[in-house]
Chain A
């Protein structure tokens, strides 16, 4: 067993190359707003530009196949890129692109060759930003209950309906959308996924007012929207996985969203809290010296370590081809619930300094305040923690007669 990735000489050389490239190409003026709602259009464009440049090098989606515009790199090399991006304070892609990530992975598994050529090249090269459109007023946890219809008409499908809690601020190019393709068919046998061009006539986007939309920094969505489809004509080519085959596609999509992908990243929250508590004086001593504060700081640390190890394990399992069962939803469940417990610990440690982004008094340049809101709201996206538990139980084999298997991943 070895928890530390060992790097070959070539990898270390590659690291230096990536680092130097990032130094040259990440604009010095890029900012990471505490609440991504504050991301400006200019800042967003800067991130998109960086995304395209990363795409050209094959570093935007390092492990995606070269023939579809990805980097075709082995895990060893993609880890290096991810670590360096993380050190530069960013993610891959460096902006919100939920539909690119989940739609891309789904198309890789279920798309036709032509669809892969067409859509994946755009996604993996960073030419488009895509939202994922699943939820509807009557379809949250019960995704299969979607009502948005896509009815075949000649060479097109005509789409009508409403999606909620979707997307981000500053628009998108494509919408990765689940619909009903057969209004007569049985549940789970009536669905179809579309890649919909965002500027088609009949699409209206209405921002929602939420406590926060979740997510951190420039890669957070900032805003969630209601999207209305009013007789939107979409070419049949954009249907992915086939008419009424949508549930099959959804299992791939949801598997990733439920955390099976795993990830390796530092925990900025722990860094920030440790920093703040070491440098902020209370009653003449650094906060971090107070044994009560230490208790709670260590609570935050323990939660972060367990979350990190679950993610690390999933990353390793996925890339080593191990059979994944309950581990995806477990990582998601644990991350969400521990995030909320960490928020409580922060409130205990910092007091009301955790509740404001006032430049003089707010802790961590407003990042802590945003975290206090997002820890709560982040419980819901991608399946509530209850739903993660339901899936875990099925995968463990106690939820249903037949033990459920994980969805297919490329």
Chain B
């Protein structure tokens, strides 16, 4: 047994940490949060130049061919920021979905662009009637000549504003399979790539406590047969499922890095903030908050990395993936709450930086399924 990172991974970790400190300092992150625009940006271009966006994409498709654990090391450091941008939604999930379900031509054409950050292929799955199951996909695709005509909306699309292309989950309106709305079983669910600037596509940012979520409307958007992921309509959803399974533990590593940053901040503050003539860390109530926080952090860390190890070594991992997401999402959410208790007033000030995490933690709680959803899938995976 050896739970240490490899020397190469340690080097990567150091390099990414330095990069994040340099290219994504707090002021930059605050500005991105205020404007909602993180990509395109100078920082994003620099991130793309490093080649890290393609860390887990095979070399034959222009990536670095790293393991999922390699990717996790990278994303843990990005999570410390928290660095925004379509690195998870496109770099990981988009890339893995194409890898799992794309035709050879699509892999050759799309993956190198994703790896270089020249294309942001953002998954658009959920709708106003919110859920991550195939049955929640209602957006209609009808046959139109050789291609398809799309009508409907995608809601709460993570990184929607940064997308150059959406990989939209759509339901085929096949005459033998009338759509759900008309009492039918509904046609099969597939994935279609839609350029963000295609005619009929509008993207609207969702304001408030959400973190980089958008509404994407498709109004009579016509796409080519070549834009359908894979050879047949049915292959899309399975590809998404497989890709989500690989993305989730890396996403939870991002949450681990974020928890780590929130923890570091809280420890530092407990040491330096003085009330009643002593550092507040001396108060057992403050210690409780910090200890709750570190327990969340470590729980997220080890569930994530074991899942990654299982996937990297081709072991059965379904249960570990759901465990990691259920624990990691809850951990980041609660870690931020504990940190707010430690910091009291100061933590609520935008300029301090904690609220960047608080905001991110709420959106990531739900992205790719919330803790309760993954608990149910875990129960299934455990044969209950």
Contacts and interface: CB of A to CB of B under 8 A. Distances in A.
A344 interface: yes
B341 interface: yes
A379 B333 contact: no
Interface in B318-351: 333, 337, 340-341, 344-345, 348-351
Contact of B129 (A212, A282, A355, A357): A282
Interface of B: 128-131, 135-136, 155-156, 204, 206-211, 213, 215, 274-276, 283, 285-286, 333, 337, 340-341, 344-345, 348-351, 355, 358, 362-363, 365-366, 370, 372
A377 B355 CA distance: 10
Contacts of B337: 340, 376
B208 A366 contact: yes
A17 interface: no
Contact of B349 (A210, A353, A385): A210
A384 B337 CA distance: 13
Given A385-B341, A386-B285, 13 more contacts: A145-B276, A209-B351, A211-B348, A292-B372, A348-B372, A355-B208, A355-B211, A355-B213, A356-B213, A357-B208, A358-B207, A380-B344, A390-B285
24 contacts: A209-B351, A282-B130, A283-B135, A347-B333, A347-B362, A351-B130, A352-B155, A352-B156, A352-B213, A355-B208, A355-B211, A356-B213, A360-B128, A361-B128, A362-B206, A369-B208, A369-B209, A376-B337, A376-B340, A376-B348, A377-B348, A380-B348, A385-B341, A386-B283
Contacts of B350: 209-211
Contacts of A340: 337
Given A340-B337, A372-B362, A209 B349 contact: yes
B366 A352 contact: yes
Nearest to A212: B348
A221 interface: no
Contacts of B344: 140-141, 379-380, 384
Contacts of B210: 352, 355-356
Contacts of B274: 138
A340 B283 CA distance: 22
For the complex of A and B, 8 pairs with smallest distance between CB atoms:
A386-B285, A355-B210, A142-B275, A356-B206, A356-B208, A352-B156, A369-B208, A209-B350
B335 to A, nearest CB: 13
Contacts of A360: 128, 215
A292 B365 CA distance: 17
Interface in A307-325: none
A361 B285 contact: no
A2 B206 CA distance: 48
Contacts of B135: 283
A285 to B, nearest CB: 11
Given A141-B344, A386-B286, A358 B215 contact: yes
Contacts of A380: 344-345, 348
A208 interface: yes
Contacts of B130: 282, 351-353
A209 B356 CA distance: 13
A272 to B, nearest CB: 16
Residue picked from A352, A366, A373, most chain B C-beta under 10 Å = A352
Interface in A351-410: 351-358, 360-362, 366, 369, 372-373, 376-377, 379-380, 384-386, 389-390
A179 interface: no
A348 B276 contact: no
A386 B276 CA distance: 14
Contacts of A356: 206-210, 213
A45 interface: no
A358 B275 contact: no
A133 to B, nearest CB: 14
A194 interface: no
A95 interface: no
Nearest to A369: B208
A324 B341 CA distance: 27
A212 B345 CA distance: 11
A142 B206 CA distance: 40
A211 B355 contact: yes
B345 A376 contact: no
A238 interface: no
Contacts of B372: 292, 348
A183 to B, nearest CB: 17
Nearest to B274: A138
Contacts of A362: 206, 208
A379 B341 contact: yes
Contact of B206 (A135, A281, A358, A373): A358
Contacts of A138: 274
A372 B209 contact: yes
Nearest to B340: A376
A59 interface: no
Interface in A190-221: 208-212
A157 interface: no
A358 B208 contact: yes
A355 B345 contact: no
A81 to B, nearest CB: 34
A386 B362 contact: no
A150 interface: no
Contact of A361 (B215, B283, B355): B215
A352 B363 contact: yes
A353 B274 CA distance: 39
A358 B214 CA distance: 10
Interface string A317-335: 0000000000000000000
Contact of A355 (B276, B285, B355, B363): B363
A407 B306 CA distance: 54
Nearest to A165: B345
Residue of B286, B348, B351 ringed by the most chain A CB atoms within 10 A: B348
Nearest to A353: B130
Interface in A139-167: 140-142, 145, 164-165
A190 to B, nearest CB: 15
Nearest to B354: A211
Among B204, B206, B286, B358, max chain A CB count under 10 A is at B206
A383 to B, nearest CB: 10
A389 B156 CA distance: 39
